[in-house]
Structure 1
């Protein structure tokens, strides 16, 4: 009796003398994805599955699995976004729980069960479930399903980010240079002066224009956050002026023959998770260091906005410069400003003497 098929799946193929590569295994066939990145491989797996046995025309949610929903979203939409790997990572987390369920299984109870099973931070689970909701909405818009169920999200976590001090930033840069990890030092400088998120900071060219990512215009002293070939999205990616300190650094990097703002041995950095962890540990363990906690790469953007608001930047200027919504600036940062409630405070303090005798 033949064994039942396990269906299309990923397998990390390891061969002597070669870099490990994910392959798609399906009914005895093996298709290479050409990548060792799990997230990117998940996107390719979704593209592969989506070409098999897809029904035409909209169907009821009970007639289609979440696996098919994510496959369609991964194959059709993910390649058009700035960072498809993020979708791939979310899909790799969603599929083990949701993959075999029909789309009509999406309800509050199953979403809460998923969150409990994942046992991750609420923010992480929200990002994953947001991908599921986006996939359902996409399939409804494109005519694959008649209706899109509503995904129940965990409560929005309270923001408890901590900003670095200038001495702590200096400690991280010293630790990076002590290890001869100049690309980490550069990443810190780019992030702290522009408030750029990690993936975007790693995709900045020193001279442009660039098609696939942002670039520095070193003649005009501007940073273009969006590449000329990238589509316009809801994310705010408007040009900003380069702070003079970063402008000087970038000019020096270019004169040294570098192509990317953050590079290692002439190549763009895909990720810096391992190197970042080592640098942070070094900085914390240094007995002369002032750093006594472990910041993440995102801490740099949080720190950049915090410093700007503390320095007197307006809500509008901060939102425009850091490509962040006005709502986020007001909710998370504005209380740190020297101008916070200054009008109300002046009015209250100014009226105390006049009202004393009334």
Structure 2
């Protein structure tokens, strides 16, 4: 801080200076944060090889984020992972990445460590008190990718540590029965009960009708929520859209990044086409297939809260929006649908269908049952090969 003007400045080693636009002792904390950012940017800009025992872990994470922020398909997930990694790994070097520290991070993350860190400096935190092992695994995957990114650029010297991930947990998403899906759809269409000022109760369908429409599209398309919510009525290159004249739903725009999540086009069922045409007549000004009445011109962000409320009122076990994809595939296979066609329509690999859904098919292992029911019995034959030769020789 300049003693005369009270202005905060950063003096660089090359003789240049940077004015921060801050004045007075009250801005000391903000000035320290600006200095920390300046030092990080200097280290990020250097591509000289460095030893693992002198390289901060978060320097490599920030370096990876700077390079990939505009490229990754879901930048918000990258930002969330960095926010979770920072409190634990700040102050640690790359050489300190071991099996034990990775396990300690997993324990810290699952125990609500990020939330506790937030509450030390802010009034509230969006982080949950308890997080799953899958969430900790996803955060460590980002750390592993950042280390490998630095290794590929040749800026790390010495033995490269291995980021040890926790075991992958099985999916907890469940599927609905046809009856449960019908009840939830009806409840979403009717709306949640609301108490009026006079003490009477009435339904508010306007609050959840958008969720009911998305519920129908999710169930009959088997697509992920983000794909359905961001689909537009007109052709686009940067996102999913619906070709109404040809009745084809393009899950991915031609210029969107290709990821491991398959998003192939599929034909639109007749009843869904009727619904889309009706909604287009009712809401001709809407840009997306479904929009919230309070947020016109924007895709619906989430229907999880509406689904939770409907399930709670009906006494049905909670279902997530992604669980509707499992429901669609489950009902298709259990109804006798062809597994290969299911993989094509729902844009899922056949290996996934075989591993998770094939046992639900009504003809599953049907050809094996007759033989299984006769275990130990030799098939009846009309004599052995030797006897047949004898009979032929005597003729």
In the superposition, the TM-score normalised over structure 2's length comes to 0.70
Query: CA distance change for structure 1 residues 166 and 70 in 2, over 3 Å: closer, same or farther?
Result: same
Q: Does 1:111 align with 2:102?
A: yes
How do 1:29-40 residues align onto structure 2 when only pairs under 5 Å count? none
**Distance (whole Å) between structure 2 residues aligned to residue 49 and residue 301 of structure 1:** 46
**Distance (whole Å) between structure 1 residues aligned to residue 300 and residue 155 of structure 2:** 34
CA contact (8 A) 1:175 1:279 kept: no
Which residue number in structure 1 is paired with residue 229 of structure 2? 202
CA contact (8 A) 1:312 1:337 kept: yes
What is the deviation of 1:59? 3.1
**Distance (whole Å) between structure 2 residues aligned to residue 117 and residue 29 of structure 1:** 25
What is the deviation of 1:207? 2.1
**Distance (whole Å) between structure 1 residues aligned to residue 49 and residue 160 of structure 2:** 11
Which residue number in structure 2 is paired with residue 301 of structure 1? 325
Q: Secondary structure at the match of 1:161?
A: coil
Name which of structure 1's ranges 301-310 and 148-157 shifts more when overlaid on structure 2.
148-157
Number of aligned positions between the proteins: 314
**Distance (whole Å) between structure 2 residues aligned to residue 61 and residue 318 of structure 1:** 48
**Distance (whole Å) between structure 2 residues aligned to residue 58 and residue 323 of structure 1:** 44
Query: Over residues 96-142 of structure 1, what are the superposed CA-to-partner deviations in whole Å (9 max), with x where a residue is unaligned?
Result: 11233222322211111111111222222222222222222233334
How do 1:119-130 residues align onto structure 2 when only pairs under 5 Å count? 119=110, 120-130=131-141
Which residue number in structure 1 is paired with residue 217 of structure 2? 190
Which residue number in structure 2 is paired with residue 284 of structure 1? 312
Gaps of 5+ in 2: 3-7, 9-28, 111-130, 192-204, 382-395
Q: Does 1:269 align with 2:269?
A: no
CA contact (8 A) 1:159 1:332 kept: no
Name which of structure 1's ranges 97-106 and 210-219 shifts more when overlaid on structure 2.
97-106
Which residue number in structure 1 is paired with residue 254 of structure 2? 228
Name which of structure 1's ranges 133-142 and 215-224 shifts more when overlaid on structure 2.
133-142
Gaps of 5+ in 1: 6-24, 31-45
Which residue number in structure 2 is paired with residue 27 of structure 1? 31
In the superposition, the TM-score normalised over structure 1's length comes to 0.77
CA contact (8 A) 2:56 2:91 kept: yes
Which residue number in structure 2 is paired with residue 238 of structure 1? 264
Q: Secondary structure at the match of 2:70?
A: helix
**Distance (whole Å) between structure 2 residues aligned to residue 244 and residue 145 of structure 1:** 58
Answer with 1 or 2: which has the greater Rg: 2
CA contact (8 A) 1:49 1:71 kept: no
- Alignment partner of 1:77 out of 57, 68, 77: 68
Name which of structure 1's ranges 312-321 and 334-343 shifts more when overlaid on structure 2.
312-321
Q: Secondary structure at the match of 2:322?
A: helix
Q: Secondary structure at the match of 1:268?
A: coil
What is the deviation of 1:50? 6.5
Which residue number in structure 2 is paired with residue 41 of structure 1? none
Q: Secondary structure at the match of 2:232?
A: coil
**Distance (whole Å) between structure 2 residues aligned to residue 62 and residue 145 of structure 1:** 10
**Distance (whole Å) between structure 1 residues aligned to residue 32 and residue 186 of structure 2:** 52
Q: Secondary structure at the match of 2:329?
A: helix
Q: Does 1:319 align with 2:337?
A: no
What is the deviation of 1:346? 4.5
Q: Aligned-residue CA RMSD in angstroms?
A: 3.2
Which residue number in structure 2 is paired with residue 337 of structure 1? 361
- Alignment partner of 2:152 out of 115, 136, 141: 141
**Distance (whole Å) between structure 2 residues aligned to residue 58 and residue 188 of structure 1:** 53
